[in-house]
Every structure is written in C-alpha cells, then in structure tokens.
Chain A
Amino acid sequence: MRYESLLDSLGRTPLVGLPALSPSPDVRLWAKLEDRNPTGSVKDRPALRMIEAAEADGRLTPGCTILEPTSGNTGISLAMAATLKGYRLVCVMPENTSEERRQLLAMWGAEIIPSPAAGGSNEAVRIAKGLTHDNPSWVMLYQYGNPGNALAHYEGTGPELLEDLPEITHFVAGLGTTGTLMGVGRFLREKVPGISVVAAEPRYGELVYGLRNLDEGFVPELYDESVLTSRFSVGPRDAVRRTRELLQLEGIFAGISTGAVVHAALGMARKAVEAGEPAQIAFVVADAGWKYLSTGAYEGTLDDAEERLEGQLWA
C-alpha cells in the first residue's frame, strides 16, 4: 500500500479473527488492530481529525500553540501531527503515567506539564482549562468534548468495521474520552439492528481514586449513555490476565487497556454461548504493549503484576 505521507496512511486497519480465543465457530471474536496507525494507537484518528477541523474553521494557523490534557496516546498523535504541520504542543499529563509515554512525547517535540498523580486525568483536565484561561492564544482541542473525536470514529472506524464484518453483533471498546464508543456506536446503531455497544472501563485501586471527593467525578462532554448497551468495569488483574492470553493464544502484543476490553468481549461471548445465540464480536486493540513494558505487567506472576500496577494509570 502506497501513501503520499505518513498522515495519509491513517486508518484502514486490519480486522483479524481470533480462532483460539473464540469460544465456538458460532461465537467469534475479532480484533481491530488500531496499533497499526501512524504513531501506533487509535488516537491518531481523533487527533488528526480535530486538528483538521480546527484548521478548517481558522482557529489553528501555522505557529499556533496547541494545549491538551492527555495521559499519553492522544498527546503522541498530536505531537507527530504538530511537528509535521508546524505547531507547538503543550501536554498536561498525570505524573503517574508510564516513562515511555513521557519520552515519546518529548521526542516528538511536545512540552510536558505534569499534573499531580492523585487527581488522575481529571486533574490534568482542570489544569489545562486553567492554562487556556491564562494563555488565550493557545488552542485546546479538548478531546473529551470535541465532536471531531467521535466523528473520526463515526466516519472512519465504524464504516471500516461494518465493511469487514457485515454480520457484526457486538462492538466492544475502552471507555476513556468515550469518543470511540460514541462514534462507532452511533454509526453501527444506525446500520445494524440490535447491535450491542459495550464499554470496558478501567477500574483503579483506591490509591488512584481514594483522595478524590465523590462529587468531583468527571464525565466527558462527549458521553451519551444511551449509545451504550453494556458497561463493564475491569480491574488490573483481569486486564493483565487477558492481555497475556491475547498474546499467548493469538500472538497479539497489546497494551493493558486492551486486556480490559478483551475481558468485556469474553464476558459478552460467554453470555451468547449460554443463551445459545450466535455472535460476531469486534473489539478495538487501542495500542501495542511497548509503552507499558516498564509497568511490570508483562513479566512475573499475576499477583506481582497487580501489585506493580497499583496506583498507576494503566489504561
């Protein structure tokens, strides 16, 4: 496949069957390999889309500074695109995200403002909003509320999935900005009667949540609960276990958040088997495992891995 530039090679990622992980010939799992995007994650889609929309409406002009709260992948995608297009990028990032992500962002030329670990991404969002107030010329694309995020999936990921798997019955993805689930979910709901749209939300230990007031919860502006049909909460132990199964059974080296997605996909598969119903379950591999090797999730026992992930933002 030939493209004019790296940016042009975005999307059209492979959908691969998972014969060993699928419970039966009638209940099958499919993985959409979004790590095969220009910077290695699904976030290239919304990042590029948001930049292009901001360029089109004149908010973003050469030499501008882009500001974004991100714990990694979106920042990496934006940094790549910003370098090629001549923008400066400032990322606000929780200090408890992995070292690899920090190094990659720096390598692609982004400036990083750390936010306190205790507040998670919510705190990063709060700090970023404060910075735009102090620097009115900076452009915050704001992935949590930017319609371009969900649209990238409504117009890209969703149609690709339906083209490759017309018989799709379930779509499963991680719940973060909610852009993937909202975009693909809306598209599939319009095209596939009875489609299940399943969210897998990472569940963190009380070290991450404990210090926060319950009322301070942050709901991304993009989120519309009515698009979802199921929502799973997956802890680090199950996420790591499924990440390892995906590698051992199918050879796919995915990031830890994908393990949480696999866990939810297998939960839906089990229910289909119990109900005696056929199912074609597609899920998103958001990125590969490289950026998470230093978390300790990929070696030793599950107990070891679970302990090491305590207090880390692993998804």
Chain B
Amino acid sequence: MAVEVRIPTILRQYTGGAKTVEGDGATLSALIDDLETRHPGLRERLLDDGALRKFVNVYLNDEDVRFLDGPGTAVSDGDAVTVLPAVAGGSGAATRPGR
C-alpha cells in the first residue's frame, strides 16, 4: 500500500489529467520527491526552496500540514494527502465565512 495523493484540477497538467496519484516516502517532502520522478514539474508547484508555497495547502488525512510539521510531516502507508489551491491566501483563514 502507498500514499494516495489527490491533485487539484489546476495541477493535473503534471499528472496526465489524473485526479489521484500514488507515491511513497517517510515524510511529505520525500513523498513529493517520489512523485516528481513520475510527474516532473509537480514539486516546483508545491515547494519553494523546501517550504510549502504560499498559495498551496496540503492536508494529511484532511489535517493542514502547516499545523503539523510542514514538508517534514511524517506520512505512512494508507494515509491520504490532499493538495488544494489556497483560496484564502497562504495559510490564511476561513475560505468562506460562517452561517
């Protein structure tokens, strides 16, 4: 079993249109390196000098990795990673306000 990574429409040009791809790695950063070998260009869109890009949010099992260990966050087999464009700007707040 590997880690499933969900890719937003805006980045599917790097995955041949695939909505989800799979990869391996002990950390998010290692996982992204592994994805880069099959989906060149993806890493550049996610990381900037080893840090998460400002307008990208990455979630590990739905939890924002900025509140975990960022690119160093440990991942394991069976985890689900979701990449989303950050609508609220960087690690900013509520993308849509309350009821």
Contacts and interface: CB of A to CB of B under 8 A. Distances in A.
B29 interface: no
What bracket does the count of chain B residues touching chain A fall in? 20 to 34
Contacts of B97: 69, 121-122, 125, 143-144, 176-177, 218, 220
Interface string A191-208: 000000000011110101
Nearest to A222: B93
B45 to A, nearest CB: 13
Contact of A217 (B9, B59, B66, B86): B86
Given A201-B94, A214-B89, A225-B93, A230 B64 contact: yes
A277 interface: no
Given A212-B87, A217-B86, A219-B89, A201 B95 contact: yes
A108 interface: no
A175 B93 contact: yes
Contacts of A176: 94, 96-99
B62 A179 contact: no
Nearest to A268: B63
A100 B94 CA distance: 24
A203 B89 CA distance: 15
Contacts of A238: 62
B54 to A, nearest CB: 10
B91 interface: yes
B92 interface: yes
A122 to B, nearest CB: 7
B11 interface: no
A121 B97 CA distance: 6
A71 B99 CA distance: 5
A177 B96 contact: no
A282 B61 CA distance: 20
A115 B62 CA distance: 30
A153 interface: no
A300 to B, nearest CB: 23
Nearest to A71: B99
A179 B98 contact: yes
A143 B93 CA distance: 15
B84 interface: yes
Interface in A17-75: 41, 43, 69-74
A267 B96 contact: no
Counting from the closest, the 5 A-B pairs by CB-CB distance are A176-B98, A223-B93, A217-B88, A73-B99, A177-B98
17 contacts: A71-B98, A73-B99, A174-B98, A179-B98, A202-B96, A214-B86, A215-B89, A217-B86, A217-B87, A218-B94, A219-B93, A219-B94, A220-B97, A225-B92, A231-B63, A233-B82, A235-B62
Given A43-B98, A219-B93, A267-B63, 13 more contacts: A43-B99, A122-B96, A178-B93, A214-B86, A217-B88, A218-B95, A218-B97, A219-B92, A220-B97, A223-B92, A230-B64, A263-B62, A267-B62
